[in-house]
Structure 1
Amino acid sequence: MTDASEIRWLNEEQDFTWRAVWSLMTWLPTKLDQQLREDSGLSLYEYYALSQISEAPNRSIRLSELAGIANMTLSHLSRVISRMMKAGWVERIVDPEDGRYTLGVLTDAGWDKVEEIAPGHVEAVQQAIFDQLTEEQARALGETAARVAEAVSPHGEVTGPPKGR
């Protein structure tokens, strides 16, 4: 057990920051999930999985890799992929390079769905985040969030590095 004199209590500014981060982690996903459900009937997790497959080389990704990127258990991802398969947006195939793995492959209908949904989702992200910040604040937020994400991510990195950086 930790000696009470060794506890690093949060000071007032740290407490404010922690509460702001907690609120951000709680309410931003809720807001984006609500927009996606209203506009497309998809959850934030479903859209994120679909978009990550769409951004992968050849619109194909190992499901175990996707689970890690999306922070989903394999069983949760399996349910998400099954729903997307029923809709005709994704196929499961055995990885031709290593048969121990299964790939999630985006279909043409899945690509069409991403193109349909993405503009509304991106607008919701713009409104919720970037419309609230100056360019300098947005850059600082990105750098700060990346630093924390790298410290807590089991992969030690931010998923989907920005293009051109």
Structure 2
Amino acid sequence: MTMPGSLLLIIALAGTPAPDTVRASSVKIHEVLGGPAGYIDLHNTSATTIDLGGWSVQSCSGGAMPAELASLPAGSEIAAGDHYLITGQSFGGTIQQLVVDTIVGDGELLLDRRGARVDSIGWAPSSPCRENQAAIACPGFAQARDAVSRDTDNNKADFTCVLPLD
């Protein structure tokens, strides 16, 4: 292979992320509460609407492999600066964009439609969903980022315990 051909191959492969790679994204897992009355709040921190159709949320439950919790249907969108709420079937709030049986596991993983890791939170030290250090466990409370969904890729630094949504 010639030098220019090699360079083109390297450039082409560099643009293809590995499935486990964290992709830069404006969609963040903003807040999580586990259980049948729980929820996952996704936050679009950008100035444009983002199409979530084909994205998925996976739960980590102590095993090495996460399990699919929800697949976001075609037409799912999150407006600029807005939130998208995935809720358990017993969630008592009025806004529910996607309902699942229950929010399970010791962490949650957001994947884009290509299956690339976009964002995640894990609150068990062994959770494959965690970013760097695990978030502090918050029994009876939700775990949330600050108002702008600051993301340093360290769950312990990014999430705090808060009162759950109503």
Please report the TM-score for the alignment, with normalisation by the length of structure 1.
Answer: 0.27
Greater CA radius of gyration, 1 or 2? 1
Please report the TM-score for the alignment, with normalisation by the length of structure 2.
Answer: 0.27
Query: Larger relative contact order (C-alpha < 8 A, sep ≥ 6)?
Result: 2
